[in-house]
Amino acid sequence: MTGAVPAVRGGAVVLALGGLAHTLWHGVHEPGHALAFGVLITVGELARWGALPGEREPAPLGAAGALAYALLGRSGGQPTTHGVLQVIAVLVAAQLVAAVPHVARGSGPTADQLARRIVTVSFAAVCFQPLYNSGRTADWFGDGPFFALFLLVLLGLTALCDAVLGALLLRSGALPHGVRSRGDTSIPYGPLLRDELRALLGIGSAVCATGAVMALGVAVAGLWALPVLCVPLLLAQVSFRRFVAVRTTYRQTIASLARSTEIAGYTPHGHARRVAVLCTAVGRELGLSGAELTVLEYAALMHDIGQLSLVDPVPDGATAPLPAAEQRRIALLGGAVVRQTGVDSEIAVVVERQADPYREQPLPARIVRAVNAYDDLCGEGLSSPLGALERLRLGTAHDYQPEVVESLAKVLARGGLTPVPPG
């Protein structure tokens, strides 16, 4: 798996250099079309200016424009002749031009993002351009509904290719921070791929559909179709940017509330963050969706907030060694505090039920309870990491779900900790 990432990056470099060299040597076919789509891709890439964390596709207009050029076989009823390599050259040139202001600003797309875009668009162009230019698509599908179905299948394969690449490249740098003292925790490929595939139903399907509609519109109406068809996606991008900004502010507010227990001296520094990072990794291991992981992360950040209501602080902030009744009382106090903040009620439910017997808990609460106990046992020297896992395993009859404990062990093992075998 690790060797595949350099292969993707190297392949993108070869495609980019090959496309630029071929286009420079043989000249640009239909320069008007190349310029129009190049400008469209550039504008789309520039629209990622100020892109916020959490955006699946920070430049949907650029992605849709690149796909449209890759799937363009006719313009205004006349056949086009630009070919695969010119598609790549226009895409690379547009991305390089758009990168200049980003670099000057000190931010912008990473090399992996550029490589992913180049390989994905090249895949679509290689699948479409040779078949269309040879006349085989006309012979096989004609110009009716079968041709549209062919484009849908091709776009589906392209989206699948993009998801595979996205998960692969993300995994190469997907080392969550905040658990350095426990060892780094890498994210397995399977959950990342599931997240990418789920995202195809959202912004991914919108980008693919817009790219196909642009290509079909230009085929009938010429380049005048581009500004008409790209405006809705640009407006949607602006609206989505605002939504992500609100969600980012919401998360920062929750993180600030979570730190209140540390500032007040009720819990050790970094405890909430460590628990949240490990909970998210365990949730991925267990196959939780993106929305479920968000609820889990927020609940993990705020799981100890009930300690602010205590007159006498818990020694070292460790709730795991406390009697079950005291743990439940603190959890209920925490749930009441969370409900007062106005956050999602699902988060409050996880916080207030984290101390219940695991058979009565929702899965996020089971994860928070096990991970919090592990960090409590390790953090203040109550037990070694291996000893903490063994104590969790001994509690699987009543306190901790066995599947959660074993998922936690797998996550920690990938971070350099080799747990004691079960039994």
- Kindly report, residue by residue over 281-323, the tens digit of the pLDDT: 899 888 887 788 888 999 999 888 888 877 777 777 777 778 8
Question: If one looks up domain 264-414 in CATH, what number appears?
Answer: 1.10.3210.10
- With H, G, I as helix, E, B as strand and everything else as coil, classify residue 395: coil
Strand partners, 74: 79
Q: What pTM value is reported for the model?
A: 0.71
What secondary structure does DSSP assign to 188-211, as a single string?
Answer: PHHHHHHHHHHHIIIIIHHHHHHH
| Segment 111-120, tens digit of pLDDT | 788 888 999 9
Contact 43, 61 (CB under 8 A): yes
pLDDT tier at 138 (50, 70, 90 boundaries)?
A: confident
Give the model's pLDDT for residue 182: 36
Count other Cβ atoms within 10 Å, centred on residue 34: 20
3-state helix, strand, coil in the chain (%, to 5): 75, 0, 25
CA dihedral sign, ordered 26, 27, 31, 35: positive
The rounded distance, in Å, linking the Cα atoms of 352 and 132 is 60
| Domain edges within the chain | 4-243, 264-414
Three-state secondary structure call for residue 75? strand
